[in-house]
Structure 1
Amino acid sequence: MSFHHPAFLWLLALPLIWGFWQWVRRGHAVALPFDHGGLREGRVLRFFIHLAGSLPAVLLAVAVLMLAGPRRPAPPTDERVLNNILLCIDVSGSMSVPFGGNGTRFEAAVAAAQAFCDFREGDAFGLTVFGSEYLHWVPPTRELSAVSNAMKYVRPSNMPGWMGGTLIANALRGCREQLLQVAEGDRAVVLISDGSSADFNNGGDRAVAEELAADGIRVFGILIGDGAGAGGLETVSAATGGKMFVVGDSGALDEVFREIDRMQKARFKPSTADWVDYHEPFAIAGLAALLLYALTLLGLRYTPW
């Protein structure tokens, strides 16, 4: 146990002096007729009277201790290791194609990604959109509302014409740069696209995979559609310890995110115990002393004359 304000503890000298005086003081003796008789001295009764007279000093000591702010170490807890997950979503024109009768490919991907973010509360999420170029819309943050609100504006129809292509390797290098700015925690990219990437040719997929793996960044690829051009993304996912998925409907998309959740598990580490207030025993002792003192006032005291 410790105290927030140990400087106040010197005030405990006051109740000690008060209690000592209560036991040694003689008071103002008054000679009564029976004082010269053969009655006993009443030492036992005097002891309890002195003890009762010391209860106010006990109350003062309790007040001083509570003023000093007693505290104790809190029970140890496990701290969640932060996962920094960057959602990298394709906004090329082909993502506007209807998908499974529930909107477009982009809308289905966004809905599943939002549900994934809500389920993984406690992790940091960022949003990057890409086509021929990439744009970091939201850096990794625990404020999930920032990612959710951004989803309303980053639509393929709102993108300029020069974003119409699909360059996945270029987008992954941009995600790597973004995640390297994060000081702590695990790093992962969930990339959602619907097409093949020209910059995966001539060993481009292996090159970007080696860069990401060297920095401990896992890639989970989600390819919407028939899976054409999946080879490059599959190479990157496997090399970084992630996995690539091909989905043909929105239900399968939800299942993919559940699988990613199982693979990118939340980890915990023991945290240093903090100090918490510890007033309970002193409050109980003070209430008990106050109750006893109130009872002693009914008769266990020296007469006032």
Structure 2
Amino acid sequence: MSFHHPEFLWLLALPLGWGFWQWVRRGHAVALPFDHGAQGEGRVPRFMIHLAGTLPAVILAVAVLMLAGPRRPAPPSDERVLNNILICIDVSGSMGVPFGSGGTRFEAAVEAARSFCEFRKGDAFGLTVFGSEYIHWVPPTAELSAVSNAMNYVRPDNMPGWMGGTLIGNALRGCRDQLVRIGEGDRAVVLISDGQSGDFSNGGDRAVAEELAKDDIRVFGILIGDGTGAAGLDTVSATTGGRTFVAGDPGALDEIFREIDRMQKANFKPSTAEWVDYHEPFAIAGVSALLLYSITLLGLRYTPW
């Protein structure tokens, strides 16, 4: 235990002096009107009266201690290590192909990603869209509504014509540039696409994988459809400690995101202990001393006649 304002503790000299004076001062003796009586010395009553007279000093001492601001360390707790996860979604024209009943590949991917973000509250999510180029739509943020609302406006049919290709390696390098600026927490990319990358040939996949692994960025790939292009993306995810999944139907997307959640676990570390106010025992002691002193005033005192 410690105090917020230890400079006030010197005031404890006042109740200590008061209490000492109560026991040593003279002038308490009272001569009772008995002739030829063998009266006792009254040591026990005298002790009790002195003790009662010391209670105001005790009350003052408690007031000084509370003025000094008693505090103690809060119980230890674990602090969550932030996961910075970039959702990287393909917005090329093929993502507008119907997928399942009543929706497109893009819509199914967005809905599953939105549910994943809501389930992982406490992490920071960002949104990047890519085709032939990439656009960092939302930087990693713990404000999930920013990512969720952005997904309502990012659609393949809203993209310019020069976004029509599929360059996964280029997009992953862009995600790496975004994530390395973040100095705190783990970093991961969840990339969703439906096509084969045009920049993974001639060792391009291996080069991208090594760059990401060097910066401790895990990649989880989700290929929608028949899994075309899985080889290159699988090289990247395996090298970085992630995994590539193939989703043949909308229902598989939810299961894939649950598996990613199990692999990208939330980590915790002991947090630094904080100091909290600790007035309760002093308040109880002060109130108890005050009540006891009030009771002693009913009769436990020297009778001044």
TM-score higher than 0.5: yes
Output one character per residue of 1:134-185: Cα deviation in whole Å (capped at 9) or x when no partner: 1111111212122112112222222222212211100000000001001021
Per the TM alignment, residue 25 of structure 1 is displaced from its structure 2 partner at its CA by: 2.5
> 1:249-278, CA deviations, whole angstroms, 9 ceiling, x for partnerless residues?
221100000100111111222222222222
Alpha-carbon RMSD: 1.7
Q: Tell me which residue corresponds to 1:173.
A: 173
Query: Which residue type is aligned with residue 200 of structure 1?
Result: F
TM-aligned CA deviation for residue 188 of structure 1: 0.7
Indicate if the aligned counterparts of 2:80 and 2:267 stay in contact, CA closer than 8 A.
yes
Task: Name structure 1 gaps, 5 residues minimum.
Answer: none
Summarize the Cα distance change of 1:84–1:195 in structure 2 as closer, same or farther, 3 Å threshold. Answer: same
Residue number in structure 2 paired with 1:143 = 143
**1:291 positional shift:** 2.0
Cα displacement (A) at 1:119: 1.5
Q: Residue 183 of structure 2 aligns with which residue?
A: 183
Query: Any idea what the Cα deviations from partners look like across 1:104-142, whole Å, max 9, x if unmatched?
Result: 211211111121112211111111111111111111121
Secondary structure of residue in 1 paired with 2:199: helix
- Structure 1 counterpart of 2:81, one-letter code: V
Matched, 1:154 2:154: yes
Q: What's the offset of the Cα at 1:75? A: 2.1
Q: 1 CA distance for matches of 2:105 and 2:298?
A: 84
Indicate if the aligned counterparts of 1:62 and 1:282 stay in contact, CA closer than 8 A: yes
Conserved 8 A contact 1:95-1:194 = yes
Query: Counterpart in 1 of 2:123?
Result: 123
Deviation per CA, 1:1-21, whole angstroms, max 9, x where unpaired?
Answer: 111110111111111122122
Structure 1 letter corresponding to 2:49: I
Amino acid of the structure 2 residue aligned with 1:114: R
Q: Which one-letter code corresponds to 2:99 in the other structure? A: F
Matched with 1:240 is 240
The TM-score, its normalising length taken from structure 1, stands at 0.94
Which letter does structure 1 place at the counterpart of 2:120? R
Matched residue, 2:79: 79
CA contact (8 A) 1:84 1:186 kept: yes
Name the counterpart of 1:207: 207
Per the TM alignment, residue 244 of structure 1 is displaced from its structure 2 partner at its CA by 0.3
Partner of 1:249: 249
> What is the deviation of 1:36?
7.7
Cα distance in structure 1, aligned partners of 2:89 and 2:76: 40
CA distance in 2, matches of 1:24, 1:280: 33
CA deviation digits over 1:21-61, x for unaligned, max 9?
22222347665523884322312101111111111111111
Give the alignment of 1:6-17 within 5 angstroms: 6-17=6-17
For residues 9 and 135 of structure 2, what CA distance do their matches in structure 1 show? 60
**Structure 2 counterpart SS, 1:33:** coil
* 2: CA distance, partners of 1:53 / 1:174: 78
**Residue of structure 1 in register with 2:260 after alignment:** 260
Maintained 8 Å contact 1:125/1:144: yes
Measure the CA separation in 2 of the matches of 1:250 and 1:215. 32
Structure 2 CA distance for partners of 1:41 and 1:35, relative to 1, 3 Å:
farther
The offset of 1:303, in angstroms, is: 2.6
Structure-2-length-normalised TM-score: 0.94
1:258-303 alpha-carbon deviations (Å, 9 max, x no partner): 1001111112222222222222221221122122112212211223
**Cα deviation per residue 1:63-113 (whole Å; 9 max; x = unaligned)?**
111111111122222222221111111111222222211522112111111
For 1:154, the aligned partner's letter is: V
Q: Distance in 1 between matches of 2:152 and 2:244?
A: 26
Aligned length: 305
Distance in 2, Cα, partners of 1:102 & 1:14: 82
Tell me, in whole angstroms, the C-alpha distance in 1 between the residues paired with 2:27 and 2:148.
78
Q: 2:294 corresponds to which residue?
A: 294
The residue matched to 2:265 in structure 1 has which SS? coil
**Is residue 13 of structure 2 the alignment partner of residue 21 of structure 1?**
no
CA contact (8 A) 1:102 1:108 kept: no
For residue 237 of structure 1, report the CA deviation from its aligned partner.
Answer: 0.9
Letter matched to residue 269 of structure 2:
K
Change in CA separation of 1:167 and 1:35 when aligned onto 2, cut-off 3 Å: farther
Q: Provide the rounded CA distance (Å) in 2 between the counterparts of 1:304 and 1:147.
A: 82
Q: Which runs of 5+ in 2 are unaligned?
A: none
What is the match of residue 68 of structure 1? 68
% identity of equivalent residues? 84
